[in-house]
Amino acid sequence: MKSISLGLFFQVLTIATFAQDVRTEKKTLSRNLDEVYQVYTTDKKVKVGPYKVVDEDKHILAVGIYKDGRKDSLWTYYNIWAEPVQQFDFTNDRLIYDGYDSATIVHSHYQLDGKLGDSDEVQPPYKIGGVNYGFYLLYDAREIPQDVKSGSDGASLNYVFNISEKGELTGWKVIYKGKMFNDIIQEKSIKGLPADAYEFTPATVNGHAVNSRLIFSVSLDVNHVETGSTNNIVTQHGNN
């Protein structure tokens, strides 16, 4: 797939919006991400037209369109090298493309409820936006326990998402694993998360949706734990 000119794409979307009725807003989406969008001048709660998400280094991670407060049409999600890693059609609620992200060390795997047969056809659950985007919607270095910081050599941070057969987030937790401490489990509330953090597609077995768990894992190194900078994660090589 060819790389897309993000600047040109966003400029075209802006021109297509009714300029006389909207204004541009920029707000914090999460600890690591900002959102840039447009709202009606008469109603600041209704997003309309072009939308993008940028990280702390101004990399564009998501580009799409809002129509009367709802995501519309095809959205494209990028890694920090401006390579598309996922596309989702919100008009038809369909995943179009999910590719390899060569610019992240966020690894993912999944678990399904029930036993599988050798001939079963499985479609894994997906985080809409990709694993890297999904991770940074929630990551906050300030939440890393002191025991993990003290014994971070060989430690890992794991997000575990419970996904229903409808693709809904029903629960999530953080598990820290390491050689120098016993597993630390933090049960998390699903209330008050960034809106994009709730967006998943369900796993299916033989075409039937099933409950599943999607796990994001990141190795914690001393430099990352001490500084809390996202640069120490996303500039390393990894896969999903």
Of the candidates 205, 199, 38, which has an alpha carbon nearest to the alpha carbon of residue 128? 199
Do 194 and 209 have their domain in common? yes
End-of-domain residue from the set 99, 127, 142? 99
- Side chain identity, residue 64: G
Express each pLDDT in 82-114 by its tens digit: 999 999 999 999 999 999 999 998 999 999 988
Q: Which residue has the tokens 């996904």?
A: 163
Question: Residue 133: pLDDT above 60?
Answer: yes
Give residue 222's pLDDT: 44
Do 114 and 189 have their domain in common? yes
- Whole-angstrom distance, CA of residue 148 vs CA of residue 134: 22
Q: Nearest-5° angle of CA 181, CA 177, CA 105?
A: 140
Across the range 17-27, mean pLDDT stands at 77
Backbone angles phi, psi at 18, to 5 degrees: -75, 95
Question: Residue 10: pLDDT above 80?
Answer: no
Across the range 48-71, mean pLDDT stands at 96
Read off the pLDDT band of 157 (50, 70, 90): very high
Do 155 and 197 have their domain in common? yes
DSSP label of 131:
H
Do 229 and 176 have their domain in common? yes
Do 54 and 141 have their domain in common? no
End-of-domain residue from the set 76, 99, 122? 99
Do 86 and 150 have their domain in common? no
Tally of structural domains, the chain: 2
Question: Residue 53: pLDDT above 70?
Answer: yes
230 or 195, which is more confident? 195
Question: Residue 235: pLDDT above 80?
Answer: no
Read off the pLDDT band of 38 (50, 70, 90): very high
- Whole-angstrom distance, CA of residue 218 vs CA of residue 234: 10
What the block records as the tokens of 106 is 């966020």
Do 164 and 179 have their domain in common? yes
Do 112 and 29 have their domain in common? no
Which range of residues forms the domain containing residue 84?
Answer: 1-99
The burial of 94, by beta-carbon neighbours within 10 Å (0-12 exposed, 13-18 middle, 19 or more buried), is given as: exposed
- Whole-angstrom distance, CA of residue 159 vs CA of residue 133: 13
Across the range 40-67, mean pLDDT stands at 94
End-of-domain residue from the set 45, 65, 99? 99
- Whole-angstrom distance, CA of residue 126 vs CA of residue 88: 11
Do 198 and 225 have their domain in common? yes
- Side chain identity, residue 120: D
Q: Nearest-5° angle of CA 90, CA 91, CA 95?
A: 45
Do 153 and 52 have their domain in common? no
Under 8 Å between Cβ of 151 and 145: no
Torsional class of 69: left (φ above 0), alpha (ψ -120 to 50), beta (otherwise): left
Across the range 164-174, mean pLDDT stands at 98
Give residue 6's pLDDT: 61
